[in-house]
Structure 1
Amino acid sequence: MRQHSAGFTLLELIAGGALVAMGVSAVMPSLFRNMRQGEVDRYTQQLETGLFSLRAKLGQQKTSCTLKFEGAELTTFKSPKDLLEMKTHPERIECCNSDIKAANQAKNIDSGCTSGPNVGSLLAENLSGIEKDRVIRDRSLRLIEQEGTSISDAVEVAVNLENYELTPPGTSTMSDDLIFLIRSKESDQSKLRTRCLQISGTGTIFSASWNDTQSRCEK
């Protein structure tokens, strides 16, 4: 007797496809939220790492720097490239030390300061080869090491102060803490957390979530 292999009817296939579509549509919003939140968290980590690195370099190089954030307000969010990143705006961090002063004097410039990203190039002008590359890499100063990434394009940031002074070893004499807010560019912010980084006068860096109701960083 002839045997027929078991299979699905067209109606069963349609019903199964509908169930799969319903399941996917149910989880997709959550997946997208997790993806957007992950972008915020990764950029926050990049900024925090940059701050730790800057603080360490200031101590090693005995350098003072002033961070400049034009139009800074905690209620005004901007793209990182328009507020924090320094590739096209090196003037956003001005740094001063005795090595910079000596290098400037050799060029008949009466100043002990220059923009942070240009410190390495200034100090390496009379060097060559591997040593020049090392000085440019190690002595240049900026807030974020990797700029213009896909993650930075997915977030927006706000800062509370237009100017913030840092002295060796990464401390500050300013009375107000420096606060960064980082959030997704996603239009529906209600289900996403805004992250914050807070730097105190002692150089302590505190990473947390932003409580908009109480206007403070909290775990």
Structure 2
Amino acid sequence: MLYNSQSMRSNKAGFTLVELLVVTIIISLGLKWSLPGLIRSAKQSEVDNYTQIVESGLFSLQAKVGKTKSSCEINFGSSNQFKAPWEILEFQQPSGTQAFLNERISCCNSKEGCVGGPEYRLISREGMQDRNAVEISTSKPFFEISPPGTSAEASILTILIRSKSHDLQSLKNKSGKSRLKIRCVEISGSGNISNGTWSEESEKCLI
């Protein structure tokens, strides 16, 4: 009777080897199924965060353009090519130095004359960590921004933001398309700014 009591207490005290193996297998399968989704969510979050940085920077630039009554010419250097943010939008380089201060943007008004960066900039918060995980493309190599009602630029500039991992095979669906969304920010010459998701089928920014 004493032996049976001790045996029951021993069984209640821990798991058997089979039970531990079952638990291990369940955890492993759970991680296998959930890990790709977690990675995808993290990479999409990096894209979405930088999209907000781009939009915020453009709002700040447009506000300064309106305040100083400036007309700004922006030179992206290329169009329809995905590159690192510091090659297209930001002045701050990976080394910490600043580049393209006068080549990238030039804003002119009657009081200051013509001024480049960093007084005028496209991104207010440069050097943020998310920039290392994304690529940028613009629909035009040049663009002009002026105060509302004075713009000579009738077309719209579209800035695309995608993950550097966009084309990884592990992140594609059965049709071969990336599961990661490309975000877009659009700005008109008069400063109307909006963001959305880029449709590769229609080649439009879906607001």
Give the aligned partner of residue 113 of structure 1.
114
Give the aligned partner of residue 58 of structure 1.
65
The structure-2 alpha-carbon separation of the partners of 1:202 and 1:195, relative to structure 1 and needing over 3 Å to count, comes to: same
Hey, what's the Cα distance between the residues in 2 that align with 1:79 and 1:170?
33
What amino acid sits opposite 2:203 in the alignment?
A: S
> Aligned-pair RMSD on alpha carbons?
1.7
Which runs of 5 or more residues in structure 2 are unaligned? 93-98, 173-177
Which of 151, 155, 169 lines up with 1:176 in the alignment? 155
Q: 1:89-126 deviations in whole A, cap 9, x for unaligned?
A: 212111112232xxxxxxxxxxx212131xxxxxxxxx
Which of 164, 176, 198 lines up with 2:186 in the alignment? 198
Q: 1:129-149 deviations in whole A, cap 9, x for unaligned?
A: xxxxxxxxxxx2211012222
Give the aligned partner of residue 83 of structure 2.
78
Give the aligned partner of residue 144 of structure 2.
165
Give the aligned partner of residue 94 of structure 1.
106
Q: Which moved more, 1:16-25 or 1:171-180?
A: 171-180
The alignment of Structure 1 onto Structure 2 pairs a total of residues equal to 184
Q: 1:57-100 deviations in whole A, cap 9, x for unaligned?
A: 11111222111100222xx1001011111232212111112232
Task: State whether residues 58 and 170 of structure 1, in contact with CA within 8 Å, keep that contact through their aligned partners in structure 2.
Answer: no
Task: State whether residues 56 and 169 of structure 1, in contact with CA within 8 Å, keep that contact through their aligned partners in structure 2.
Answer: no
Q: Which runs of 4+ in 1 moved over 6 A?
A: none
Hey, what's the Cα distance between the residues in 2 that align with 1:52 and 1:192?
26
Hey, what's the Cα distance between the residues in 2 that align with 1:206 and 1:49?
10
- Say which SS state the counterpart of residue 191 (structure 2) adopts: coil
- Say which SS state the counterpart of residue 27 (structure 2) adopts: helix
What amino acid sits opposite 1:38 in the alignment?
A: S
Hey, what's the Cα distance between the residues in 1 that align with 2:28 and 2:151?
56
TM-score (norm 1): 0.79
TM-score (norm 2): 0.83
Task: State whether residues 61 and 121 of structure 2, in contact with CA within 8 Å, keep that contact through their aligned partners in structure 1.
Answer: yes
Hey, what's the Cα distance between the residues in 1 that align with 2:40 and 2:116?
38
The structure-2 alpha-carbon separation of the partners of 1:171 and 1:42, relative to structure 1 and needing over 3 Å to count, comes to: farther
Task: State whether residues 50 and 143 of structure 1, in contact with CA within 8 Å, keep that contact through their aligned partners in structure 2.
Answer: yes
How far off its partner does 1:214 sit?
A: 1.1
Which runs of 5 or more residues in structure 1 are unaligned? 101-111, 118-139
Task: State whether residues 58 and 169 of structure 1, in contact with CA within 8 Å, keep that contact through their aligned partners in structure 2.
Answer: no
Q: Which moved more, 1:162-171 or 1:41-50?
A: 162-171
Hey, what's the Cα distance between the residues in 1 that align with 2:60 and 2:150?
13
Query: Is 1:142 matched with 2:121?
Result: yes
How far off its partner does 1:201 sit?
A: 3.2
Q: Which has the higher helix share?
A: 1
